[in-house]
Amino acid sequence: MSETELGLALIATINFTIRYSVPITLGALSGILCERSGIVNIGIEGMMLLAAFTGFMANVTLSEPQVSPALQAAPVRLTLAVAVALLTGGLLGLLHAVLSIQYKVDQIVSGTVINILALGLTGYFYRLNAPTLGKLPNLIDNPFGRDSSLELKLADNLTLYLPYDIGRIIFDKDLITYLTLVIVFVLGWALFHTTWGLRTRSIGENPRAADTLGINVYRLQYTNLFLGGMLAGLGGGFLTLAAVGLFEQGMTTGRGFIALAVMIFGNWRPWGALRGALLFGFATALQGQLQQFGIDFPHQLVGMLPYILTIVVLAGFVGRAQPPAFSGKVYETEG
């Protein structure tokens, strides 16, 4: 074991936790927005997957040699790619809205349609080894150098460099990571302190009453599902445009469902979702690090944790999850 191993592992764990939690948080926010508006969204997984794909393909298309250099410049190209991912998510959100509001399809079935559709479409249009000109760069690079940092030797195998190590956690991140934090803050505030938030929560709790008060329930549901879809789309875009830089078939590997778990775990609140995502991310990161230190604990059993915890919370064994009262039901206006 080299001397700095524990220090490195610490930073790696924290950074992994953050990277893991970004798409999960965005997915959970998508779920929150939809469920607060009275529509259950189990299609987050599919929205993420398809958006990850279209965002990536936009990046691939714009990276082709015949495209004008003005469009190929990293900021323009990647902004367009992220926009495509957002739009894809938003459109799937609208599809979910049309199916479950206009056609009164069971919301779970509609979500399932989106999941299967995304899996099929991405598989069908998938191209092996499509090249791009690169993914999202770090928004801010670490301003601190390691050489100029103070070396703190806390133990034989634990050395930290300050402020270099802190810089590695706070800076060196892409745009979407910072944006996620902003969105959590904005949504957490807007949902509980604005007229829009009050209306959204009211149609999720009691649409009849909201309708009586003159709130256009359906229009608000459509808007919020579009926004919710965009959030899931951003989560998908993060995977292919910021984290991995490549698309692989079925690459969301259940993140949309972990997001659902996190949403419940966080009691349908944005900050709670962020906390839950960080917690699950930390468990996953820790498990990976433990293995490197020769501690043998099966990662699958750690992987079960989010799901078990969700059931525990949902069943009211610890605390009590409070879903929006009308979530998942069909609302029909009178007359």
Q: Which residues here bind another protein, judged by CB under 8 A?
A: 40, 42, 99, 103-106, 108-110, 112-113, 115-117, 119-126, 254, 257-258, 260-261, 264, 291, 296-301, 303-304, 307-308, 310-311, 314-317, 323, 328-330
Q: Which is nearer to another protein, 109 or 140 (CB)?
A: 109
Q: Cis peptide before 137, with omega less than 30 degrees from 0?
A: no
Shortest separation between residue 169's beta carbon and another protein, angstroms: 27
Give the number of other Cβ atoms within 10 Å of residue 10's Cβ.
Answer: 15
Closest CB to another protein among residues 128, 182:
128
Query: How many Cβ atoms sit within 10 Å of the Cβ of residue 284?
Result: 22
Closer of 108 and 179 to another protein (Cβ): 108
d(CA 86, CA 236): 9
Tokens of 177: 């990571």
CB closer to another protein out of 170 and 314? 314
Q: How far apart are CA 201 and CA 148, in angstroms?
A: 51
Distance, in Å, from the CA atom of 24 to the CA atom of 166, rounded to the nearest integer, reads: 24
Distance of CA 20 to the CA centre of its chain: 9
The residue (of 78 and 263) whose beta carbon lies closer to another protein is: 263
**Closest separation in Å from C-beta 213 to another protein:** 26
Nearer to another protein among residue 123 and residue 131 (C-beta): 123
Cα–Cα distance for residue pair 308/322, rounded to 1 Å: 18
Q: Cβ 331 to another protein, closest distance in Å?
A: 12
User: Would you say 31 or 55 has its CB closer to another protein?
Assistant: 31
Other Cβ atoms closer than 10 A to 94? 15
Q: Which residue do the tokens 């690079």 mark?
A: 141
CB of 333 to another protein, least distance (A): 15
Task: List residues bridging with 159 in a β-sheet.
Answer: 153
Residue 319 CB, shortest distance to another protein, in Å, is 13
Joined together, the tokens standing for residue 286 give 């820790």
Nearest distance, CB of residue 61 and another protein, angstroms = 15
**Exposure class string for 180-216: b at 16+ Cβ within 10 A, else e:** beebbeebbebbeeeeebebbbbbbebbeebbeeebe
Q: Residues 6 or more apart from 237 whose CB is under 8 A from it? A: 51, 52, 55, 81, 82, 85, 86, 176
The least distance separating another protein from the CB of residue 300, rounded to whole angstroms, comes to: 4
Q: How far is CA 45 from CA 5, 77, 111, 255, in A?
A: 36, 25, 9, 6
Taking the least distance from each CB to another protein, the nearer of 121 and 130 is: 121
For residue 10, the minimal CB distance to another protein (Å) is 21
Report, in Å, the least distance between residue 111 CB and another protein.
9
Q: Which is nearer to another protein, 50 or 241 (CB)?
A: 50
